[in-house]
Amino acid sequence: IVDKELGPLVPLSFLVLLCLTNRGNKLWTGSSPFLLFANRRDVRLVDAGGTKLESTVVVSGLEDAAAVDFQYSQGIVFWTDVSEEAIKQTYINQTGNVVQNVIISGLVSPDGLACDWIGKKLYWTDSETNRIEVANLNGTSRKVLFWQDLDQPRAIALDPAHGYMYWTDWGETPRIERAGMDSSTRKIIVDSDIYWPNGLTIDLDEQKLYWADAKLSFIHRANLDGSFRQKVVEGSLTHPFALTLSGDTLYWTDWQTRSIHACNKRTGEKRREILSALYSPMDIQVLSPDRQPYFHTPCEENNGGCSHLCLLSPRDPFYSCACPTGVQLEDDGRTCKSGAEEVLLLARRTDLRRISLDMPDFTDIILQIDNIRHAIAIDYDPVEGYIYWTDDDVRAIRRAYLDGSGAQTLVTSEINHPDGIAVDWVARNLYWTDTGTDRIEVTRLNGTSRKILISENLDEPRAIVLNPVMG
C-alpha cells in the first residue's frame, strides 16, 4: 500500500481509519502498535509489527519538527517546530495536511511536548527561554509554570492519573525532575549517573519511569519517585533521542543510526530495528488508546469551577485553578482577574512587549501587531486602554490595544524621527518630539487636530513627559 518513494498509494485517510478503528482486529496487522514520530521534515506513522517496514506520512513539508504527541479521543496530532518556533496540530483523519497553529509566539526552542489527554492541556519545555509552560489544546490560557532552575529542559512526560509531570534537563547539572501538573511539589528525582538525559516515558501499567541517556549510552528505569533504579539497555546505544513504550516493548529513536529500535522493556533483550534510513528521527510516541486511558477528574465538571485553567494536581483536592501568564487569581482560588494590574511596556525595535508586574515570573508577552520595524517611544492611555508608539522606519505614530488588537496608524505625514511620545490622559491629547523636523507637536488621541507647538530653538528633541495636573 505504501511506496517508499511515492508515499501512500491509497488515501491516507483510509489508512488512518484502519489505524484508528481496527486496532486489535486482524484487518491491519493485529496487536502491534502504531508509532508516531517526528522526522524534522515530516511527522510519520509506522506499524511496529508490520512486515513491510515502511512509514506513512501524517504531515509533510515541515521545517524542523522535533517533539510530537497526540490526543487520541479527538484524533489530533501535535508537534513542535524548532525552526518556525511554533507548536502546530493537524487532525489525523484529514487528508491534505490541514495544519493549524497552536502557539506561534514566545517560543525559541520548544524541545519537549506532552498532551494531558484527560485535562486537555498541552505542556512543553523550551531550552532557550528556559521555561515550562501549559495551555489549552487550542493555545488559549497559556501559563508559565516554571521559569527558574531550568538549564536545558528537554523531554517531558505526564501521569495525569496521579497529577504529576516529569522532565529531563541535560544542562550544567543534569537531572530528572518531578512536579505536580499544577507546578506544586517540584523535586529532583534522579541526579546521579546522568549526563545527557534525552528521552523520557512512563509505563502507566507498571508505574515506572524510563529514560535514555545519550552520552552514557543507556536506558534505565526507576519507580516514579526515582527509587529502585534498574538498567534496561547498557552501553550499546549510539545516540538515543526519544523513547516510548507499549505492552512489554520499548521503542526509541537514535540520531546516529537514524533508525527506530525496539527491545523488551524489562530485559533489554529481543533487540530489533523497526525502521531505518530515516531522514532525522526525533520524538516518538505509541499512538494507541492504551497510552491515554480515560478516568474521571474533578476538572471534568464545569472546569472544576475555574474561570481559566483547571490543572491536575497530586495534592488533595487533586486539581487547582490557574490563570494565564501575568494574571493573578482572586482570593476565591477559582476566578482570574480580568488582566494584569501593573504592566511594564517595552518597545523592542521589531516588536512591542508587555510584562506583568503582578506575578513573580515577569514573563514578557509579545503583542501580535504587524509591521513594527523600528519602534522607539511608547506610552499608554489607561482610559481607553490604547498603547501609543512611534516607529522610526515606518515613520508613523500608531496605537493598538494591550492585547495587540485594534491596531491603527494615526500620524504619517511630516514625521521623520519621532523619538519621544507622551499621552495626556486628562485632556485626551498626544504629544511627540521629532529629531528630524526638530519640532514638538500635539494631536487629539485619534490623530485629528494636529498642531505644531514648538519649532524654534530645538536641536535634537527626544524624551518628553507631561504633568497634566500642573498643566
Q: Which residues bind ligand NAG (CB under 6 A)?
A: 74-75, 91, 93-94, 136, 138, 140, 428, 444, 446, 448
Closer by beta carbon to ligand NAG, 95 or else 276:
95
Closer by beta carbon to ligand NAG, 94 or else 184:
94
Question: How far apart are alpha carbons 130 and 25 in whole angstroms?
Answer: 44
Closer by beta carbon to ligand NAG, 272 or else 428:
428
Closer by beta carbon to ligand NAG, 119 or else 174:
119
| Shortest distance (Å) from residue 90 CB to ligand NAG | 10
| Shortest distance (Å) from residue 426 CB to ligand NAG | 13
| Shortest distance (Å) from residue 14 CB to ligand NAG | 12
| Shortest distance (Å) from residue 323 CB to ligand NAG | 14
Which 3-state string (H, E, C) describes 399-412?
EEECCCCCCEEEEC
Closer by beta carbon to ligand NAG, 60 or else 95:
95
Grid coordinates belonging to 310: 483547571
| Shortest distance (Å) from residue 312 CB to ligand NAG | 15
Closer by beta carbon to ligand NAG, 138 or else 405:
138
| 208-213 and 429-434 beta bridge pairing | unpaired
| Shortest distance (Å) from residue 297 CB to ligand NAG | 14
Among residues 363, 367, 383, 366, the alpha carbon closest in space to that of 323 is found at 363
Question: How far apart are alpha carbons 256 and 238 in whole angstroms?
Answer: 6
Closer by beta carbon to ligand NAG, 141 or else 285:
141
| Shortest distance (Å) from residue 300 CB to ligand NAG | 12
Closer by beta carbon to ligand NAG, 82 or else 430:
430
